[in-house]
Amino acid sequence: MKKSAKGIGLAIIGGGRVGLFRGEVAARHPSVEWIGLAEKNPNRAGEVAGKIGADFVTQDHRELMRRPEVTCVIIATDEHLHVDPIMAAVERGVPMLIEKPLATNLAESARVLKAIKDAKLDAVVGYTQRFRRRWLAAKEKCRTGALGDVTMVTSRAFMNRLVAIDNYKRTDDPSTISPMVISGTHALDICMWCLEGKTPVDCYARSIDKVLGPAYKGIDATAGMINFSDGTVYHLNISWALPVTWPGAVYSLDVGIVGTTGVLTIDDTHRDIVLAVSKAQGEGYNPDASRLVDFMGSYPPGDMALGELRGPMAEETVSWLNRVALGLPTPAATVEEAHRNLMLTKALDLSAKRKQPVKLPLDPLEELSAA
């Protein structure tokens, strides 16, 4: 059966690291006929526009969303700056690919979710790891019952402190930035995807803040447990305060999924490709001169090779463009799942703060009153 693709007029809001990656991939996609870029920083706007061959550039995302060519939008602004661009896209009524999280507080996330649902728009959220074969394989084994009834999941996420420092430096409200909300959410999304259909009922967590607390009023690490109505347990932890020299560029993950008749373990620490050099390569997230050893493949978007981004974010972006152009289904996270992920990470943070269990789902008002 022949499928005919719709032409795409793509708006990209936020031309930082992710906006540039996705823009470069989109510029090569056969259905993309027009690209508009909104980037607040004029120098960065000019640089990125040239690299992605943008047809229109502005510093104002509302001006971009008024352009008649726009048929869909990628929202790749900083974590705490997603809400207004999402609302502008909702008003315009176009499909969206939104970077995680939907918002950095639960009430705003609920508002955005409702606006997207009321407008009946197709919106997905950039949980990029879902596009890797290993997690798709894990999802398939859980979905088809190969492990029996999944009863326990465990995930360990280790990151050096570069991402944390960058996030804390960029915000004037460190209380909205936590390892669980910003980074732990990726491992949580994968594990909750494997636990699809189960209902979380309460959670318990503790945090540590000996490194990032004094310097940034931040959190180093959180370890917790989510309990489900059928007795299933998900045990998770993340530290994003490892020394800068820890070779994982960003994410180094170990996951175990135990069921009544099977078990699946996934070593996603990226120790299989180790690069050691005498001079820092300036690659990855916030490259640092002291990093001479690298677990290659641990930078979540992927790696540059032969002038193109290769890996999960390239595959995710192409898959989303095909979804928009051809109406093909994709494994992308829905806005409901993204909101649920934020709710769970906020509940873990709240439990750690109170040193008490928190009932799920966490109510946005409870989060506000605890702030």
Ligand X SMILES: NC(=O)c1ccc[n+]([C@@H]2O[C@H](COP(=O)([O-])OP(=O)(O)OC[C@H]3O[C@@H](n4cnc5c(N)ncnc54)[C@H](O)[C@@H]3O)[C@@H](O)[C@H]2O)c1
Q: x/- string (CB under 6 A) for ligand X, residues 291-310?
A: ---------xx---------
Residue 222: Cβ within 10 Å count: 26
15 binds ligand X (CB under 6 A): yes
- Collect contacts of 302-307 with beta carbons under 8 A, ≥24 apart: 302/21
161 binds ligand X (CB under 6 A): no
271 binds ligand X (CB under 6 A): no
- Tokens 């979804």 locate to 323
Residue whose C-beta lies closest to ligand X: 16
Shortest separation between residue 86's beta carbon and ligand X, angstroms: 11
User: Among residues 10, 11, 12, 13, which is the contact residue for ligand X, using CB under 6 A?
Assistant: 13
Number of shown-chain residues binding ligand X (CB under 6 A): 25
Which has the closest alpha carbon to 189: 320, 333, 335, 351? 333
Which has the closest alpha carbon to 271: 241, 297, 289, 234? 297
Q: Are 205 and 222 in contact (CB under 8 A)?
A: yes
Shortest separation between residue 171's beta carbon and ligand X, angstroms: 11
Report residue 366 as tokens: 């409870």
Q: Which stretch binds ligand X (CB under 6 A): 37-45, 144-152, 231-239, 353-361?
A: 37-45
Q: Give the span between the Cα atoms of 97 and 86, in whole angstroms.
A: 10
Q: Which is nearer to ligand X, 99 or 268 (CB)?
A: 99
Q: Which is nearer to ligand X, 15 or 259 (CB)?
A: 15
Q: Which is nearer to ligand X, 16 or 262 (CB)?
A: 16
Q: Which stretch binds ligand X (CB under 6 A): 9-17, 115-123, 199-207, 349-357?
A: 9-17
Q: Give the span between the Cα atoms of 20 and 139, in whole angstroms.
A: 29
Shortest separation between residue 48's beta carbon and ligand X, angstroms: 8
Shortest separation between residue 41's beta carbon and ligand X, angstroms: 4
Q: Which residues pair with 268 in a beta bridge?
A: 253
Q: Which is nearer to ligand X, 228 or 294 (CB)?
A: 294
Amino acid 172 reads D
- Whether the CA torsion 307, 311, 314, 319 is positive or negative: it is positive
User: Among residues 12, 18, 211, 242, which is the contact residue for ligand X, using CB under 6 A?
Assistant: 18
Residue 3: Cβ within 10 Å count: 9
- At 148 the three-state DSSP class reads coil
44 binds ligand X (CB under 6 A): yes
Q: Which is nearer to ligand X, 128 or 222 (CB)?
A: 128
Q: Which stretch binds ligand X (CB under 6 A): 3-11, 72-80, 116-124, 151-159?
A: 72-80
Q: Which is nearer to ligand X, 248 or 300 (CB)?
A: 300
Shortest separation between residue 332's beta carbon and ligand X, angstroms: 11
Shortest separation between residue 262's beta carbon and ligand X, angstroms: 29
DSSP 279-314: S----SSS--TT--EEETT-STT-EEETTEEESHHH
DSSP letter, residue 175? G
- Return the residues of window 122-151 that contact ligand X according to CB under 6 A: 126, 128
81 binds ligand X (CB under 6 A): yes
Report residue 359 as tokens: 């009932």
87 binds ligand X (CB under 6 A): no
Q: Give the span between the Cα atoms of 302 and 313, in whole angstroms.
A: 6
**321: CB partners within 8 A, 6+ apart:** 8, 10, 26, 29, 31, 32
Q: Which is nearer to ligand X, 85 or 224 (CB)?
A: 85
256 binds ligand X (CB under 6 A): no
76 binds ligand X (CB under 6 A): yes
Q: How far is CA 214 from CA 210, 218, 299, in A?
A: 7, 8, 27
Residues that bind ligand X (CB under 6 A): 13-19, 38-41, 44, 61, 76-79, 81, 85, 99-100, 126, 128, 300-301
